[in-house]
Amino acid sequence: EALMSNRGRVLSREQLLSKVWGYDFDPNSNIVDVYVRYLRKKIGPEFITTVRGLGYRVD
């Protein structure tokens, strides 16, 4: 929902953690990466773009 409501906009891992899970970013956590991988499997990899060094974007 966080990515879809911000379609075309890059969201950082910190922003996604805050919006989806409601807690501060732990730099050692890969929970965002894991769930983005799950989403890509469900909806197709072409819909979610990784913007290196910034975060993720739904096109």
9: CATH: 1.10.10.10
How far, in Å, CA of 48 to CA of 23, rounded?
A: 23
Q: Mean pLDDT in the chain? A: 88
| Confidence (pLDDT) at 27 | 63
Question: What pLDDT score does 24 carry?
Answer: 67
Query: Is-contact 46 32, C-beta < 8 A?
Result: no
Whether the full predicted model's pTM is greater than 0.75, yes or no, is yes
Separation of alpha carbons 45 and 29, rounded Å: 22
Dihedral angle over CA of 12, 14, 19, 20, nearest 10: 100
Number of domains in the chain: 1
Q: Which domain holds residue 50?
A: 4-58
- pLDDT bin (cut points 50, 70, 90) of residue 25 is low
